[in-house]
Chain A
Amino acid sequence: MTDRITEIWGERTPYGSGQDWPERVDQFLAEGLTGDDVDQWVQSACVLCSNGCGCDIAVKDGRMVGIRGRVQDRVNRGRLGPKGLYGSWQGETHKDRLTRPLIRVDGQLVETDWDTAMGRIVDRSKDLLASKGPLSHGFYTSGQLFLEEYYALGILGKAGIGTPHMDGNTRLCTATAAAALKESFGADGQPGSYTDIDHCSAMFLYGHNMAETQTVLWSRVLDRLDGPNPPRLVCVDPRDTEVARRAEVHLPVHPGTNLALMNGLIRELFTNGWIDEDYIERHTANVEQLRSVVDPWTPERVAETCGVDAADVRRAAEIFGTSDRVLSTVLQGFYQSAHATASACQVNNLHLLRGMLGSPGRGVLQMNGQPTAQNNRECGADGDLPAFRNWENEEHVRELAGIWNVDPGIIPHWAPPTHALQIFRYAEQGSIGLLWISATNPAVSMPQLSRIRDILRKDSLFLVVQDIYLSETAQCADVVLPCAAWGEKTGTFTNVDRTVHLSEKAVDPPGEAKSDLDVFLDYARRMEFKDKDGRPLLDWSGPEDGFEAWKECSRGRPCDYTGLSYAKLKGGSGIQWPCTDAHPDGIERLYTDGEFPTTPQYCESYGHDLLTGATTGETVYKATVQPGKAWFKALDYSPPHEEPDADYPLRYTTGRTVYHFHTRTKTGRSRRLNDAAPEPWIEMSVQDAASAGCKEGDIVRVTSRRGRLEVPVRVGDIRPGTVFAPFHYGYWDTPDGGTSEGGSPASPTRAANELTITEWDPVSKQPVFKNAAVRVERLRAGDGPSKAPDTAASRPATGGQP
C-alpha cells in the first residue's frame, strides 16, 4: 500500500457504468508486524467519518495492532482512507487515555472510583428532580456512539426523566439532512444508495467536499471518472477542492447564497421543460408554489447574487436536466450555511421534478458528517422520538409508551424537542442545572466559543462529561467518566446509505473505563427508573439486548430493523435498513414506486414554514396533505444576516481537512495524521493576501464580532473575498493544555469557532458555521510556509505565490 498521507485516495481501480466497483484491500499494521503476527481479526467498521467502511481490527496479545478493509463489504469493498488506516486504533492508544473517573474537589479534578462518581451524579440528579423537575436536566450527546447507546439514552431521558432537552452534536452535522428529508418526503430516511455512484451519468456535489470528508466514497467516484463512460460532475463550493478540480462545472458561490443558486437551477428546469409532468402529477404536491418562488431567479440574477457565471448556471442546469441518471450529494456547505433546510429541500425538488429517485443512478444522498449520526436520529437521543415517530401525533406517543410500558404523559411531546443551542441557552440562564455531555467536545465545536466556555464553567451548572480523553469540555466538568472507545466495546451503527454494521469488541478498555452503554445502564439502575409495573425501565444485560429492544421499537416504521440480528451482521457485508422478514437482505433504495411516507398517520413530521420554522400543525397538515405524495417546499432567497461590511469586509467559512476528524481527539494523537496537519491555519486567495499585505506563512489576526484567531496564512485557491479556517483545532495540545485560567485558554486564538456566530437554521436548528464576516490583519512574518497540508483543498495557490 502506498503512503496514504500523500496518496490520499490510493491506487485507481477504474470501472464503467453499471459495473461492480472492483475490490482493493487496504491494510495497515503496527511497525514491524506482518499479517502472520496477528492473533485475531475482529469485525468492525470505521468510525472516523460517516462513510461506514467495513473493516477488521487486528489484535495481538490483547492489543489492537492494525486494521484492514473488509473486501466483502458493500460500502468500501476492502478500501480504507488515511484516517481509518492511521487514526483508528492509533488514536486510542495514547497515554492520555482516561482510565479512572474524576470528580471536582476544591476546584481540581481528582481521580476517584465509579461508585463515588456515579453517586455524585445521582445525588445531584435526584435533588434537581425533586426541586425543579425533569426540565432541569439536559443531555448532549454525539454522532459517534453506537445505536444501542443512543437508544438507552433516549429511553432514560424520555421515559426515565422525561425531559425534552436532549440533543447531539448531530445538530451541528446532520440535522439539516434529516429536516430536509422530513419536509420533502414526510420522514427521515436516505433515499439513495452508494451504489448509485456505480450507475449515474451525472453527479452533483452540493457543498460537499467528498474528497476530504469521505475519502473512500470519493475513491469510488474517481474510479468512475477514470473508467469508461464517466459521469459528468458538477461542484458547488467556494473553495477549489479536489471535487471542484475534477468537475466539468464548478460553481464557487459566495458563502450564504446557496439558495439563490438552487432557485435558479430549478427555474432553468421549468423554463426548458426538463421536468417529468407525469411524475409530478402522480407523486408530488405544491408544484405551482415552487414555480412561482423560483420564477424571478434568472441565471443572470443568480450570477449577480452568487458571484458565478450565468453561463455556468445554465450549463449546470442543462447537465441536471438532460442526463439520464443523476445522483446528488449534499453536505455542510449547504447544511451549515444560510437557508440550510430550504437549500437542501431544493436538491430534493430537483430530483422530484425529474422523477429521479429510487432507481439505479437516480438518487439523493443527504449526507451525514459522523459515523453514527444516523442512529442518533433514529433512536431519539437527539430530541426526535425513536424510529421516526412524530411528537405531534398522539397515537405515535401512545405506541411508544406501550413499547416502554410507561405512561404516555412522561414522554416529552408537549413542546418541540429542545435543540442543542437552546439547551446551552437554558444552561446559561440557569434553568438547566445538570448537563450530561457524552462523546463530544462543545468547548471546541460549538459556535462562539467564549460564550460556550462561560456556560460550561457556570457554578449553577453541574456538568457531567463522558469521554475517552480529557477534552477541552471535560476540563470544565464536575464529574468525568472514562469510557471505552471503538474496538473496546460491541455495538451497531448505521452509515449514510442506511448500511448497518456490527462493531465487535476486540480488546478491553484501559483501566476502569466502561462502555457508554454500561454507564447509561448503571445510571438508570441507580436512579431506579421503573416502568408502569414497577419493573426496571432498562434491564438490558448488554448491547445485544439493546439491539433486540430497538428492533421492536423500529417495527413497522421507515427504519425497520426487525430482519436484522447480531448473528446476521456477522461475517459478511453490512446490511441496509429497512430490513424485514419480507426483505431479509434490506432495501437498496427508498421510494422506488414514488410512494412517500406523508400520510398523516405515518409521517414523522407535519412540516414547517421554511422561512421561520413555524410548525404547520396537525389540522393544517391534514387539510392540505395529499397522502403518499412528496411535498415541493420552496423559499425565496434573502441575504444572510451577517454580510461583509466596511469593518469586516471578508466572508468567513469553516470546514474539515482530510487528515482530521472533529476536534482531533483521536486524529490529533495519531502521529502520521498529526504530522500531516499539525496546527491551525487560515486560507486566503492570492488577491486578498496581497491586499492584506501578507505572504504565505505570515501570522495574521482574523477578527469577527465575536473573537479572533492568530494563525499562519495559507495562500490558496479559495475564491477571493472568502477566508477559510479548519474547525478541528482547540487547546488541549497547546503548552498549557488550554487550562491556564481556570479552565480557559490563556490565548483563545486557535479554534475556528471563536469567530462563528450564534445563529441557526429556523427549521433544522443547525448552526450557521459557514457564514460570518471577518477582517484580516498581518501581525508578523512566520517561520516559513504555513504547515497547512499541501494536498487537497488547502494546497498552495496554483497561480504561484505573491
Chain B
Amino acid sequence: MKLPVYIGMLDEAEATLAASLRVVAEGHVDEPDVHLILQTLAKKCDVHREALKPVIERYGEDVEGEEEHRLTANGVTEIRSGPLALLLDLQDLYVLVHHIDVTWMLVGQAAQGDRDEELQRIVKQCEGDTELQIRWLKTRMKQAAPQALLVAE
C-alpha cells in the first residue's frame, strides 16, 4: 500500500507551493495583483493541507519509504530580478502547481479504487483550486509575456 506515501508527498508539495507563492508574492509588491492574489492562492494550499490532515492521521505520520520520494525540487526560495523576473517566477510556480495538479488526480483515482470516501471528498474539494491556480498563472503570464519578451529592458 503506497498511497500513504503519495499523500505525504502531496502534503509536502502543497507546503512547498504555499511557501513559494508567498515568496513570489512578497518579492513582487510593486505588482499589486500578483502580490495579493498569490497570497490568496497560498491560503488555498493551507486549506488543502488542513483537509488532508485527517487522512494523514489515519495512515500515521511515519510512512515508510517517503524519504526516498520527492515530487519536485525545493520550490521558489528567492525571487529573480530584471525584466524577466516576474515571468520566470510565475513560470516556476506554474511548474509546481502542475505537479500538484496531476498528483491530486492520481490520489483521487487511488481513493476511488480504495473506496475511500473521505479521501474522495477531499480530492473533489481541492482539485478545482489547483486548476484555478493554473488558470490564474496562465492568465497573468499571458498578460506579461509580450511586454517582457518584446519591449522591457
Chain A residues with CB under 8 Å of chain B are 132-133, 135-136, 164, 414-416, 418, 421-422, 425-426, 429-432, 609, 611-617, 638, 641, 758-760, 762
Name B88-117 residues within 8 Å CB distance of A.
none
| CB <8 Å contact, A614 and B146 | no
| CB <8 Å contact, B135 and A135 | no
A800 to chain B, nearest CB (A): 42
| CB <8 Å contact, B146 and A613 | no
Task: State the CA gap A638–B138 with chains docked (Å).
Answer: 24
Q: Which residue of B lies closest to A135 (CB)?
A: B151
Residues of A within 8 A of B151 (CB): 132-133, 135-136, 431-432
Interface of B is mostly: helix
B103 to chain A, nearest CB (A): 21
| CB <8 Å contact, B147 and A762 | no
Residues of B within 8 A of A431 (CB): 83, 147, 151-153
Additional A-B contact list (18), CB under 8 Å, known A429-B83, A431-B83: A136-B151, A415-B142, A415-B146, A421-B32, A425-B31, A429-B152, A431-B151, A431-B152, A432-B151, A609-B135, A612-B136, A613-B33, A614-B138, A615-B135, A616-B135, A617-B135, A759-B32, A762-B37
Does B5 lie at the interface of the complex (its beta carbon under 8 Å from any beta carbon of A)?
Answer: no
| CB <8 Å contact, A609 and B36 | no
Q: A614-B132, A614-B136 are in contact. Are A762 and B153 (CB under 8 A)?
A: no
| CB <8 Å contact, A416 and B142 | yes
Q: A415-B142, A415-B143, A611-B40 are in contact. Are A758 and B132 (CB under 8 A)?
A: no
Give the contact-size bracket for chain B: 20 to 34
Residues of B within 8 A of A425 (CB): 30-31
Does B3 lie at the interface of the complex (its beta carbon under 8 Å from any beta carbon of A)?
Answer: no
Task: State the CA gap A648–B142 with chains docked (Å).
Answer: 37
Residue from the list A135, A136, A426, A612 in contact with B132, Cβ < 8 A:
A612
| CB <8 Å contact, B136 and A415 | no
| CB <8 Å contact, B153 and A430 | yes
Residues of B within 8 A of A422 (CB): 143
Residues of B within 8 A of A611 (CB): 40, 132
Listed residue (B143, B147, B150) with the most chain A CB atoms within 10 angstroms of its CB: B147
Task: State the CA gap A432–B37 with chains docked (Å).
Answer: 25
B102 to chain A, nearest CB (A): 18
Residue from the list B40, B145, B152, B153 in contact with A415, Cβ < 8 A:
B145
Residues of A within 8 A of B33 (CB): 613, 760, 762
A156 to chain B, nearest CB (A): 19
Task: State the CA gap A164–B150 with chains docked (Å).
Answer: 13
Task: State the CA gap A415–B136 with chains docked (Å).
Answer: 13
Q: A133-B151, A135-B151, A418-B143 are in contact. Are A759 and B36 (CB under 8 A)?
A: yes
Task: State the CA gap A609–B44 with chains docked (Å).
Answer: 15
Name B35-52 residues within 8 Å CB distance of A.
36-37, 40-41
Residues of B within 8 A of A426 (CB): 147
Task: State the CA gap A638–B112 with chains docked (Å).
Answer: 33
Residues of A within 8 A of B40 (CB): 611-612, 638
Residues of A within 8 A of B32 (CB): 421, 758-760
